Structure 1
Amino acid sequence: MASALETLCGQVVGAGKLHMLGIYMQRSCIITCITALLLTPIYIFVSPILQILRQDKHISEVAGKYSLWVIPQLYAYALNFPVQKFLQSQSKVWVMTIISLVAVALHGLLNWVFLSKLQYGLLGAAIAGNISWWFLVVAQTIYVVGGYFPLAWTGFSMLAFRSLASFVKLSLASGIMLCLELWYYTAVILMVGSLKNPEIAVDAVSIWLDIYSSSFTGIILMNLQSWALMIALGFNASVSVRVSNELGAGDAKAAKFSVLINVFTSTAMGILFTAVVAATTREFPKIFTNQKEVITETSKLGYYLAATVFLNSIQPVLYGVAVGAGWQFFIAILNIVSYYALGLPIGALLGYKLKLGARGIWIGMLIGCLIQTVLLHFIIIRADWRKEALKAEIRMRTLGGPSESLEARSEPNGVDRPRS
């Protein structure tokens, strides 16, 4: 729901209308906090929900306990992501990096204390995650409201409660787009959980597969896919900011150039990671586990992981382009077609009907990713960036609202920033 800010904040920065940034951030915080409140019952009832989905009883019970303990993190996310987008849109990434490094160091220390020394297990991991996430949120918020952004942050404003309907519309499109993406990988885990020997199968797939929820809850699941994906997500943020900035400024050529540079660089990094994974499929599982059954099962999926790493080095960048340009609703439809109409049914057919197990489910996931990546490439190649720049201008007028923009300009420091 907060990813709408990637489009809006980036475009208003490009247009030099910094007076709207703080209002957009506050508006997004309202929406994400309400969303967190609506999601809380799901955290409370995780265990029965998983059992209804025919997951292993023991796994469901452990997941249910952990989800209760990490509810504070849900509200940390609700505040973190709008603040993060506020900073990213202005390219204030080094301060964010420093804060994140301190948070990671704190997280490591807390995990050592609660897990290694006090032996609190999953409860200790949850406590460490709660503290680390709230430290991150508080530190970034202090930086935003501490006077470092006199043009973008002019204090709390009642304008944040205006035009919420239009803002919610784009937020919903963004949320649906990303949820369809994340739920696709979660559905793969659920499908694997229904196979024979679910604990071994889930362990194997979890080592290779990027489990988004693991990074968001603060458990350090050091799986390979996460390592490779983090690089691509950096390019995702970069291209989203650059494309939205340039479209907001009306510079179609610069937007197109940013797309080409980011896609080329991320693809080169993906080729490197793919080669590393393909060459070490038998060795990397040993970093994560010493169980022979899990190592054997994981090694079987090694080459499929290599293909996934390559696709995921390109796909997040294309996603970033789509978000920067404001194509969220269209990408949501594309996700439904490539993932849910094709990827998951093919995976179910191969995994269950043809008895290929986790390997068949993964092949189905790969097919869905490949179809989506190819279609995104085709769309971006055919895009008319001049028209997209005009759409950005219309979007800023529509979501900002003429009366709202005038009031914002009358507030202290509410002046346009000249574009360098």
Structure 2
Amino acid sequence: MVTLVDLTPRVQTGDRLATLPVVIVGAGPIGLAAAANLVERGIDFTVLEAGDRIADSMQAWGHTRLFSPWKHLVDPASARLLEAEAGWSIPSPERAPSGTELVEQYLLPLSRVEAIASRIRTGVEVVAVSREGMDRTRTTGRAAAPFVVRVRTADGVQELTARAVIDASGTYRTPNPLGSSGLGLLGLDEVAELVHPALPDVLGRDRATFAGRHTTVVGAGHSAANTLLGLVQLVREERGTRVTWLIRNAQAVRVSSSDDDELADRARLGGRVDAAVRRGDIALVDGFEIVRARRAGEGVELVGQHGGELVTHASDLVVNATGFRPDLDPLREIRLDLDEVVEAPRRLAPLIDPNLHSCGTVEPHGFAELRHPEQGFFIVGMKSYGRAPTFLLATGYEQVRSVTAWLAGDLASASSVELVLPATGVCSTGLSVGDAAGAGSCCG
């Protein structure tokens, strides 16, 4: 028996809903791309950014260079808006920019396009999403009820209403815990000020924090590799600086160094870290399962299982580069259909399984793979990949193009998804999901 699935757009546009905007959560590259696509579709929207500036998370690690060149980092609809309003052109298509360059040369100009600028609200944290007058258990009339988006601002808690919600909030602010169990690390409160998030600017803004101290980087992905290489340079420049790399796998299988990788910077990263380990610039501790942390004088002590025994590892500072996970707490009243392993939309999960796919082998996908039982609600961008680290910005741009076409009632365009990605080798095969993630994901 064949079950037919009705993919007809169901965001009702009659009566009150027609007067409400689409709410976009997050003013990063994917959120702004969604805004640009909605401008082209003539659909009103509001962009809510928790930070005090656009692309706030990206700016936090802006010193880091992405692996993808400019030609893979610009959304087509956004480029059309910029070209029409400001005569903008893509910078150096074959060169990979830093996060800061991407923001300053692309995202900031995009955010200042008149049709978008007036609709961005910064310093607005989304704390919950629901349906007006309905918790998740009520069904009758649900699709016709506006979404309620509860936000926290400097002025207190407020609520907005929307015809649809596009969650492009990313995952950078919700890292995986250091503990191997996936639970919050026991003892973290004792040492919280000594544990730093992924991709600190060890050669710039945060140099004074790390210079002359012993830092342990936990994690086996690209964010860990970038931080390790920065610390290796700091070792050469600042006396007393030491670096330890702690991973929970038996060996350091992290990133591809294949000659077939079209992202050359990404391909070289693993080899550079391996060379630093061989030279003794990095002390490698593998097979270490962290159980808890505790204070040890002015530093931190990690307690864990290693070789079947309970052992300790002392350090001045710890960098948590264990990857990221989606923050689903604000969505408790939304009807979601998520894969039980990677926490991605269930139809998308098999396409992005990090045990099978690299960044460049993910198939094009759009609204059909991203939809949930909650009509008109979509998770897009890095957050749509859940705990999988194989996200590319180009993939997210095609996601929001398809989703906004669906919201506009253009089913033919929404269903026609196409995407050409660079060949990238394997981002994380052989690693658990928690060990494999990197900043901006594996490829930018």
The TM-score normalised by the length of structure 2 is 0.31
Relative CO higher for 1 or 2, CA cutoff 8 Å, sep ≥ 6?
Answer: 1
